[in-house]
Structure 1
């Protein structure tokens, strides 16, 4: 649930008083509580290259302060608890001519806000090893994941149930009716199909994750976006240790999506899958992935008013593009390097290149409610990503991280119009989490 943004101060005060409250009250509720304060500084630059008549240059800089509180549970057969958070976002640099990165909300005149804040909370109930929660949450699973790609995490409002009564087996279910972007203070925003941009007021999901060993995992989920689609997911991962220095990891992800109810996004009959293999040797890692869309509409997933969720567990869903266009096939080559082996612990490097082709929606039969853009019948595109990340390993600044992310994408003309215009972008993210309790 969301509260008036101006009421963020009481939760910040709670953070300051929590050590005293903990000393005064006995029981698991406060003994097992955690309070984390996170500072996140985010610079976002994007230069659009083929956006005629639109905004070609976007550049914003913002700072976010987050306070996250997770209580323990009261003692007894049925335990009660609460999770709460407070966010405050500050504009460091932006203008009406440079908005559009989704770091900051804009007012009715299109001007970026100087600051924005929100508070949210969820109550939780635990019986044995099962937990029922209601309120503002950030689920993360293959069919309903909220994500964290901007200053704050988008939140969804509803119920969730998680159970670990059997070792190595997670049972997971949820019912959500509203949400809000990370750059919004709206407490009753819409849940959407991201690419179709149509709203649903009800999402239900259920699934399980089984990890019989540290090297093997199996996952299956089903979800319903009311009057849009029913979606089914299956995933598997296997790691094979070759020796002390070498290992192979295989991942498979499969989605099946079918229209449902009033078909607000039009007719949908889509099967999308990806397979990847990663070879690691010491500090080096090389990944090869293939992804395929079978359907005349894009593979679609959870969105909010403007931002996307992360319920797309596909190998070629990367920094900017998802490579999920109608009938698209795509390859990825990725290289990872851990520079701890070269005397710089905490420093890592990643580079990848993804190429997609065979994009074709010429047979799209969306009907009167068809909501997807037209990609043409012979589309191609590619994306190149480079990332450098450093995490402080010790001392007063331990866990402080600096992340540099650069991406370039190029597409054929119709694909760029339907999805994402060609661009070069740079993101600089500095984050410092500090555990107060």
Structure 2
């Protein structure tokens, strides 16, 4: 479906909404949020003969999100508007290509500023909500990348329904995406490919069923036209062991095969992951195992789009190489136990082995991550958050580096 036809449809639908904008509920229930995000990243490459000794940048972003209410009646209409803008505070050609700021591919100079925005038209009936336009999905089939100064966005249509008790149904179609370091709207293509191999249509359907308070299962299917078919299954179980102790178990499975014209070639991948977490008071201990099967890696959307439903997805990747076996140990602590609510600590170690690359089937990698985050709990600066993240990445086949991120965020609500 050409991009022009999508724009025309949105414009026509907006015209239909205009008569409803006089309704009081549309204005009375509206909300405007302005979020300031300050993002600093420094990456120090550690291997011999590195193309760059380091990359990184410092930038300030402003997110504006307007959310209207709905018109009266069984069928309610509304409109949302979103604008993102980032300003470079520091960074040059010698440290560009850090995934935060767009850059000139000839001079390597990062952009001084960039941004994007869009509108989302919405309709509500009972417990169903239809949205058309700019989307920020966090779904098993398309998960927004929000780990740099600006978040990734998509355009499409999304329908979510909770009309059936304990069953949530989701369906939709995505047309394009804007990656985290871009103002452009690109086709949907796979990481490692180019937009020339992209598709302008991803159709998906999902069903999440809450059997009991403790047990939930999910099935999702997506078709990235002429690239792949994807199936996703998950099971989540929560078992209270005592008043302050909870055992959580998560099992997830993906299957991918090429589809239609196979613009990205043959795709043969399926994977499973198991995660077990034990939460006791302010402590949480987790262990997970993930296995990639088939001849290919787990396919990911371009622009470093994450797949956070994978149990071993971490700061800088998901341990998704062909044949890879990976395991993770993680510990989380809430300083509320010391009388410091809002302060949280996390550390994890993830290791992957048996990676198949060319003639070798013995490549390996590991990553260590440590987070310290504080969110103000009360007063005029309530919800101000400061996060410090340190990562160490080592592989037998790619770049080795140490990384530091400092992220400050505050939202004004009007």
Assess same fold via TM > 0.5. Answer: yes
Is the Cα–Cα contact under 8 Å of residues 23 and 71 in structure 2 kept in the other structure? no
Structure 1, 101-110 or 123-132: larger mean CA deviation: 101-110
Unaligned runs of 5+ in 1: 3-23, 362-373
1:422 aligns with 2:406: no
Cα offset, 1:133, TM superposition: 1.5
The counterpart of 1:67, out of the listed 54, 64, 67, is 64
- What is the distance in 1 between the residues matched to 2:332 and 2:367? 17
Is the Cα–Cα contact under 8 Å of residues 349 and 387 in structure 1 kept in the other structure? yes
Residues 179-218 of structure 1 mapped to structure 2, 5 A cutoff: 179-186=177-184, 188-197=185-194, 198-218=197-217
Other-structure match for 2:131: 133
- What is the distance in 2 between the residues matched to 1:117 and 1:329? 39
Cα offset, 1:182, TM superposition: 2.7
Residues 100-119 of structure 1 mapped to structure 2, 5 A cutoff: 100-107=97-104, 109-119=107-117
Cα offset, 1:270, TM superposition: 1.2
The Cα offsets for residues 374-412 of structure 1, whole Å up to 9 and x where unpaired, read as 483211111111111101000000000010111101111
1:329 aligns with 2:325: yes
1:433 aligns with 2:414: no
Cα offset, 1:360, TM superposition: 1.8
Residues 141-160 of structure 1 mapped to structure 2, 5 A cutoff: 141-160=139-158
Other-structure match for 1:78: 75
Other-structure match for 1:280: 279
- What is the distance in 2 between the residues matched to 1:212 and 1:37? 38
Other-structure match for 1:360: 356
- What is the distance in 2 between the residues matched to 1:196 and 1:236? 32
Is the Cα–Cα contact under 8 Å of residues 325 and 375 in structure 1 kept in the other structure? no
- What is the distance in 1 between the residues matched to 2:227 and 2:345? 40
Other-structure match for 1:382: 366
Is the Cα–Cα contact under 8 Å of residues 144 and 205 in structure 1 kept in the other structure? no
Cα offset, 1:189, TM superposition: 1.5
Q: 1:52 to 1:151 in 2, by over 3 A?
A: same
Cα offset, 1:287, TM superposition: 0.4
- What is the distance in 1 between the residues matched to 2:48 and 2:256? 31
- What is the distance in 2 between the residues matched to 1:101 and 1:58? 6
- What is the distance in 1 between the residues matched to 2:308 and 2:244? 31
- What is the distance in 2 between the residues matched to 1:375 and 1:133? 47
Q: Tell me which of the two structures has the higher relative contact order, counting C-alpha pairs closer than 8 angstroms and 6 or more residues apart.
A: 1
Cα offset, 1:265, TM superposition: 2.0
Cα offset, 1:90, TM superposition: 0.7
Cα offset, 1:246, TM superposition: 1.1
The counterpart of 1:123, out of the listed 121, 126, 131, is 121
1:401 aligns with 2:385: yes
Report the 3-state secondary structure (helix = DSSP H, G, I; strand = E; otherwise coil) of the residue aligned with 2:26.
helix
Cα offset, 1:88, TM superposition: 1.7
Unaligned runs of 5+ in 2: 4-20
Report the 3-state secondary structure (helix = DSSP H, G, I; strand = E; otherwise coil) of the residue aligned with 1:341.
helix
- What is the distance in 2 between the residues matched to 1:391 and 1:84? 27
Cα offset, 1:314, TM superposition: 1.0
Other-structure match for 1:369: none
The Cα offsets for residues 291-310 of structure 1, whole Å up to 9 and x where unpaired, read as 0000121111223xxx3223
- What is the distance in 2 between the residues matched to 1:113 and 1:178? 23
Residues 169-248 of structure 1 mapped to structure 2, 5 A cutoff: 169-186=167-184, 188-197=185-194, 198-248=197-247
- What is the distance in 2 between the residues matched to 1:128 and 1:308? 37
Other-structure match for 1:10: none
Is the Cα–Cα contact under 8 Å of residues 146 and 308 in structure 1 kept in the other structure? no
- What is the distance in 1 between the residues matched to 2:245 and 2:130? 41
- What is the distance in 1 between the residues matched to 2:311 and 2:359? 22
Report the 3-state secondary structure (helix = DSSP H, G, I; strand = E; otherwise coil) of the residue aligned with 1:378.
strand
Structure 1, 193-202 or 336-345: larger mean CA deviation: 193-202
Cα offset, 1:26, TM superposition: 4.8
